[in-house]
Structure 1
Amino acid sequence: MGIAELVRRPGSPASLLAVAVLLTMVLDSAWLLPQEQQDLPTVKPNSSLNVKFDPKTTRLTWDCKENTTYGECVLIHKEKGLIKKKVKDSECHCTFPDCSLHGGVTLAVQINVNQRRLSERLVYSNPGREGTAARNFSCVIYDADFMNCSWARGRAAPDDVQYFLYTRSKKRIERECPHYLKDSGTHVGCHLRDLSGLTSYSYFLVNGTSQETGIQFFDSLLLLKEIERYNAPDNITVHCNESHCLVRWEQPRTRQPRSNREFQYQLDVQRWHDTNSNRGQLIVVFGDSGNRYNFPKPGSKAKHTVKIRTADARKAHWGAWSQPVEFGSEEPESSLVHIYILVVLGTLVCGLTLSCLFKRFIRTHRLFPPVPQIKDKLNDNHPVDHEILWEKFTHETGKDDKEEVLIVEKVSEAPAKL
Structure 2
Amino acid sequence: VQVLPPVNFTLTVSALAQVLLQWEPNPAQEQNNSTIRYDVKILSPVPEEYDTERTHSVRTAALHDGFSARVRTLLLLENLQMSSDWVEGNLPPLPGAEETSVTNVSCVTHITIPGNVSLRCAWLPGQGAPEDTKYFLFYRYDTHTEECPTYTKDKWSRNTECRFASTQIKPGGIDNLVVIHINGSSTHAAIKPFQQLFNQNAIEKVNIPRNISISLEQNDLLAMWEKPISPFREECFEYEFYLIDLKSGNKQILKISSNSFRLRIDASCRYSIRVRANHNHICCARGFWSDWSEIIYVGQNKLENSIAWIFTLLCVSMSCTLLLLAIIYKINHAWSKLFPPIPTPSNKFRDPFPIDYERARTCTSSTETEVGSLAEDLSCSVLDDSVF
When normalised by structure 1's length, the TM-score is: 0.59
- Structure 1 stretches of 5 or more lacking a match? 1-28, 30-46, 370-418
State whether structure 2 residue 161 is matched by structure 1 residue 188. Answer: yes
Report how far residue 310 of structure 1 moved: 0.9
Q: 2: CA distance between counterparts of 1:231 and 1:102?
A: 34
SS at match of 1:143: strand
Query: 1:251 offset after TM fit, Å?
Result: 1.7
Q: Which residue of 2 aligns with 1:97?
A: 59
Amino acid of the structure 2 residue aligned with 1:293: F
| Corresponding residue SS for 1:158 | coil
Q: 1:215 aligns with which of 185, 191, 202?
A: 191
Q: Does residue 167 of structure 1 match 2:162?
A: no
Distance 2:244 2:234 in 1: 29
Does residue 322 (structure 1) correspond to residue 322 (structure 2)? The answer is no
Q: SS where residue 226 of structure 1 aligns?
A: coil
Residues paired across the two proteins, number: 307
How far apart are the structure 2 equivalents of 1:279 and 1:192? Answer: 40
- Secondary structure of 2:202's counterpart equals helix
Aligned mate of 1:265, from 236, 239, 246: 239
CA distance in 2, matches of 1:143, 1:197: 10
The CA distance in 2 between the partners of 1:266 and 1:98, in whole Å, is 35
Native 8 Å contact 1:166 1:174 kept in 2: no
Is the contact between residue 201 and residue 221 of structure 1 (CA under 8 Å) also seen in structure 2? no
1:245-284 matches, cutoff 5 A? 245-254=221-230, 256-260=231-235, 262-269=236-243, 278=249, 280-284=251-255
Among all aligned residue pairs of Structure 1 and Structure 2, give the percentage whose two residues are the same amino acid: 20
TM-fit CA distance, 1:105 = 3.4
Partner of 2:278: 311
Pick from 100, 119, 122: which aligns with 1:132? 100
Structure 1 position 151, deviation (Å): 2.3
Aligned: 1:82 with 2:43: no
Deviation at 1:356, TM superposition (A): 6.8
Whether the 8 Å CA contact 2:203–2:287 is kept in 1: the answer is no
Structure 2 length-normalised TM? 0.62
Structure number with larger C-alpha Rg: 1
Q: Is 1:236 paired with 2:175? A: no
- Residue of structure 1 equivalent to 2:27: 66
Q: Could you tell me whether the CA contact under 8 Å between 1:128 and 1:215 is conserved in 2? A: yes
Return the structure number with greater relative CO, CA threshold 8 A, min gap 6: 2
Residue from 155, 163, 168 that aligns with 2:127: 155
Distance in 2 (alpha carbons) for counterparts of 1:118 and 1:358: 110
Deviation at 1:278, TM superposition (A): 4.6
Equivalent AA in structure 2 for residue 292 of structure 1: S
8 Å contact kept, 1:263–1:311: yes
Cα distance in 2 for partners of 1:318, 1:135 equals: 24
Preserved contact between residue 131 and residue 155 of structure 1 (Cα < 8 Å)? yes
CA contact 1:151–1:189 (8 Å) conserved in 2: no
* 3-state SS of 1:157 partner: coil
User: What RMSD over aligned residues (CA atoms) do the two structures have, in Å?
Assistant: 4.3
Match of 1:204 among 164, 170, 179: 179
Structure 1 residue 364: Cα displacement: 5.0
Is residue 54 of structure 1 aligned with residue 13 of structure 2? yes
Distance in 1 of aligned mates of 2:65 and 2:308: 63
The separation in 1 between residues aligned to 2:139 and 2:10, in whole angstroms, is 27
Aligned-residue offset at 1:133: 1.6
Which SS does the other structure have where 2:278 is aligned? strand
Cα pair 1:269 1:307 within 8 Å, conserved: yes
Which has the larger share of strand? 2
CA distance in 2, matches of 1:55, 1:154: 27
